[in-house]
Chains A and B, each alone.
Chain A
Amino acid sequence: MDQVLSYYPGCSLHGTASEYDASTRAVCELLGIRLEELEDWNCCGASSAHAVDHELSVLLPARNIALAAKADKDLFIPCAACYGRSKVAQAAMTEDAGLRAKFGEAVGMEYRDGVAIRSMLDLLADPDVLQRIRAGVKRPLRGLKVACYYGCLLVRPPKITGAADYEAPETMDRVVEALGGTAVPWSYKTDCCGGGLVLGRPDVVGRLIDRLMTRAVEAGAAALVTACPMCQGNLDTRQKDAAQALGRDYQLPIFYISELIGLAMGHPKPEAWWKKHLVDPRPLLGTI
């Protein structure tokens, strides 16, 4: 099946989360989904615009939605924060004629919509996509026990995301099982990692990360799996400091779900992704 989607990578996937970008593109290619990067996209405002200026936090993603409407395809946004902000903006623009008028004035282009915004979870929840993944597994992840970590914005608030299982989502768990791995049950799937607080209060973020890491280890996980560059970045780069500050000894690789799909479907060069991780997943992958 051939499918074409507009692709909004966002700032993180063009920077520290480049392995999420690369593995997402690789997996979509393996699944026969063509991605066309939205031309001249801008930052969605992420965790800061909404704290400072409500109207701006709508106008920024609205410009990207208008660009996608011109391209006339569904808009795929793998970053959880970009996805969340874009969905909030889309709802606000639909409800508020005042905002639509302001958009034309401020941005200098016409607002158009009619675009379905899809997250990584939306993509993976499609039974047809899951079937293609299952059928394409060349190297089953037998023996790999992971905790699927969804974080906040992929599921909350449900009136925006439309998620039905927002307290205990299962989409990534089902994918991990389809890849031949084991998704351990645990209760912290949608607890917050501290996201945007990391520059201002790394000590606070350390406490949040510690709770997640400790609970994942208790549940028997050897790694965590995410679909959010902030969750992955926080957990991968900050767990060493958190463990040191709180006297723990965990050291768990943090995967993007796209990396595990790519690996199991036999992508030829996953090495390039592993090199970007601070906690090197290769020793763990060597055991499966």
Chain B
Amino acid sequence: MALLEKVDKNIEARAWQGEIPIQSRYTCGLAGEKFFREIMENGRFAGTHCAECEYTYVPPTIYCERCFAKLDEWVEVGPEGTVQSFTVLLVAPDGTPLEEPDILALIQLDGADSVLVHRLGKVGLDELAIGMRVKAVFKPKKEREGSILDIVHFVPVNA
């Protein structure tokens, strides 16, 4: 068995091109509702705390992934935090080069144990450092719509 013949001329290598149209709604859940409402209405970060594990989740979850307890203790964290890592991204979602570098970071908000993934702004590439202190900049209140993009970016605390 096995293949006795193969397509051996490039122009005879036929292919059909297709695409998959997919549209979805992703509900934010109980914890997500509260997280985004706090941002929209008060420009504040809400997290959930597991007293057993001494761990604060931001974004919040209604259960602790460490001990599996149900979480209902809400705490306010941030809006300042510490950069745990950063990267300067130079490619667009489709893989083509970006015109302007995009700085992304892991930000551990004060009081949180988890990190938020977001952009850094108003910072020079030579100023970037793991451990730098940053704070959240929110969109003007009337423009907020309950999305992670209600946070414009994080900027250095002393900016």
Decide whether A and B assemble into one complex.
Answer: no
